[in-house]
Structure 1
Amino acid sequence: MTTTRNLLAEQSARFARLDPVIPAQRVAPVGEPVVAALPDGRVVGGVVAFHHHPPGTVSSLWSARYCRELTPLLGSVGAEGLAELLAAARPVLVDGLAAEPDSAVEVIWPSRDAEATRVLLDHGFVPLSVLAIRTTAAPSRPAPVDDRVRVRRGGPSDLTEVLDLAMAELEYSALVGGTVLRPDARDLKAETLRTRLAGDHPVWLAEVDGLVIGLAEGAWSPVAEGSPGSTRLPTGLLGYVNCVSVASGARGLGVGQLLMARAHEEFDTAGARATYLYYNPPNPLSSVFWPRQGYRPLWTIWESRPATGLRHGP
């Protein structure tokens, strides 16, 4: 009989062959279990977690209000097992959401698994976001086109300028990805940035003649063995990039590249094992910019919005 432990071990071995940076999966997530049988008698499984992001929560800015997340446990089966599992899990994933347009079904899966990509596309999923990682040393600091551009650390007195740049990024991302421009978005962003600017996490600002034209929001992200983050990322001290935004009139000056060179320099000097971030593949700016900074997709976040858009397959 195939057990969850066996499925996890076999799936981890398969993931390691696809992408050696993906950590071993030792513990199944908590949620409602789902099982599917293949025509040849093999069995695969999965876990469905239920997430609610009500008004007033920062997570509601990048998530549907009601989200059902499926974590497949396919062992060594791969795409064939994923198709069967999606069919078996569909009632659990869409139950009660027929009249809820602000809903989503989500699957987070290794970006290099092309076979699974085909299955997910056939079932109505869209790759709205990727978790991308950079494990190589930062390149030498680039020279901006305009040598008046300077980079410095931000502080509490910079809140107004930082908030304006962060909102500009949020509004653009809402056009090209999974971000949702909620009515309370500015208040939520202001509170988050106020805390960040007053704390220990780095915020870098680019300015010309005292005028702030660019923002890079970072954080230190220690990932401990056995923590939730260790199922997605290498363990150790990591650097995290939350938001990069350049004023529209200042693009083309090398501002974003200069900000990230400074961020990478500080992360590397502090001994960060890697740096990571999320970006939207449909975004025509970030999908070009981030690979040039040394980032590549590790996990892809696939979504069907609304949840009832989940299809039965080809």
Structure 2
Amino acid sequence: MTELHAVTADGERVSAVLRRERLEPGAVDLLWSAAEVWRLFPATGTTGTAAMDALLRAWRAELDHESPGEDSACVVTWPSHDAEAIRAFLDHGLAPVTALATRTGPPEPGGHPEVTVRQARPDDFPAVLDLVLEVFEYSSLVALPRRGDAAELVAPRMRRKLEQDTGTVWVAEVGGVVAGLADCSWVDVTGDAGAAELLPPGSWGYLNNVGTAREVRGRGIGRTLAAAAHAYFHERGAAGTYLYYNPPNPLSSVFWHRRGYRPLWTIWEVRPASLLR
């Protein structure tokens, strides 16, 4: 880790911690992350745009001593409602690639007479894997990196989860054919690390991957799956549910807001890292 220090035009000193991360080949995180990441943790006080601008300039100068490759990124996770910082991020070439959104209300009415939701079984693996890959393929158009080995990265985890029968993976059937997936899990937010850096304490339901087959979109399948997941976690006392979505995605950015989700943290990013201005 490296400490960055900067001074605004008004003479106020601000600082940040810069952490460099490398992912090994075969890491599941490569599905949504660059292989080499420079991650900034700013401490800007109350100086808003000016402070963030000064830190981003210092960050750019620090990168001049590095040699980022093509599979690299500069990343900052920042409160979604801090409008003053947004101006600085945009000016320096960062884009709002991912948002963490939460939902804490009661489950919404759901269900569709043509859609049957049930827990996924091990023999659903081929259909489930196809749906997961379809989600990643679409996301690669609007936010995430395109990975040729996506199937190899995601398949072991998905197969293991179905075999363990966690009860938090559902499929939606239309006419007896699997047409949608909700891959979820419980996350206990405790201490001051991991999810606790972003969420209040408690047991949360995490909607990791919810997708509908392309040819049957618009028929209420995703809405029915989301309602089933929300009801499951609500009935078991979850503090709420959360997920990550891509603001540039014209499907998920609308769908999840309609389900009652609101962005809490936004992950700003520029790829490759050398494009930081």
Normalising TM by the smaller chain, what interval? over 0.9
Query: Are 1:194 and 2:159 matched, yes or no?
Result: yes
Please give the alpha-carbon distance, in whole angstroms, between the structure 1 residues aligned to 2:35 and 2:29. 9
Which of 114, 118, 124 is matched with 1:148 structurally? 114
Alignment correspondent of 2:225: 259
Structure 2 vs 1, CA of residues 201 and 76 (structure 1 numbering), >3 Å: closer, same or farther? farther
Q: CA deviation at 1:227?
A: 2.5
Q: Percent identity?
A: 46
| Contact kept? 2:9, 2:50, Cα under 8 Å | no
Task: Count how many residue pairs are aligned between Structure 1 and Structure 2.
Answer: 276
For 2:59, which of 77, 80, 89 is the aligned residue? 89
TM-score (normalised: structure 2): 0.96
Contact preservation (8 Å) 1:176, 1:282: yes
Whether 1:69 aligns to 2:4 is no
Partner of 2:77: 108
Whole-Å separation in 2 of the counterparts to 1:138 and 1:149 = 18
Aligned mates of 2:265, 2:11 — CA distance in 1? 30
Question: 1:188-227 maps to which residues of 2 (within 5 A)?
Answer: 188-199=153-164, 200=166, 202-227=168-193
Deviations 1:147-169 (A, max 9, x none): 23100000212111100000000
Paired residues of 2:118 and 2:171 also in contact (CA < 8 A): yes
Q: Cα distance, 1:240 vs. partner?
A: 0.3
Asked whether the equivalents of residues 97 and 103 of structure 1 are also in contact (C-alpha less than 8 Å), the reply is: no
In structure 1, what is the Cα distance between the partners aligned to 2:231 and 2:67?
46
- Greater CA deviation, 112-121 or 189-198? 189-198
Distance in 2 between the 1:52 and 1:182 partners? 16
**Equivalent residue number for residue 16 of structure 2:** 46
1:60 aligns with: 30
Structure 2's unaligned 5+ residue stretches are none
One-letter code of the match for 1:139? E
Q: Indicate the residue corresponding to 1:120 in structure 2.
A: 89
Aligned with 1:288 (options 231, 234, 254)? 254
The yes-or-no answer on 1:138 pairing with 2:107 is yes
SS at match of 1:282: coil
CA contact under 8 A between 1:133 and 1:295: conserved in structure 2?
yes
Q: Which amino acid aligns with 2:254?
A: V
| CA separation of 1:298 and 1:48: change in aligned 2, threshold 3 A | same
Distance, in Å, in 2 between the alignment partners of 1:95 and 1:104 is 15
Code of the aligned partner of 1:264:
H
Q: Work out whether residues 224 and 236 of structure 1, in 8 Å CA contact, stay in contact via their aligned partners in 2.
A: yes
Q: Shift in Å at residue 208 of structure 1?
A: 1.9
- CA deviations 1:161-220 (Å, max 9, x no partner) are 10000000010000011x223222101111110122123251110002321000011010
Structural mapping, 1:32-43, within 5 Å: 32-43=2-13
Deviation readout 1:121-144 (Å, 9 max, x if unpaired): 000001111111112112122x42
Alignment partner of 1:298: what SS?
strand
Give yes or no for contact 1:94–1:307 (8 Å, CA) kept in 2: no
Q: Is the 8 A contact 1:68 1:93 kept in 2?
A: no
- Where structure 1 has 5 or more consecutive residues not aligned to the other structure, the ranges are 1-30
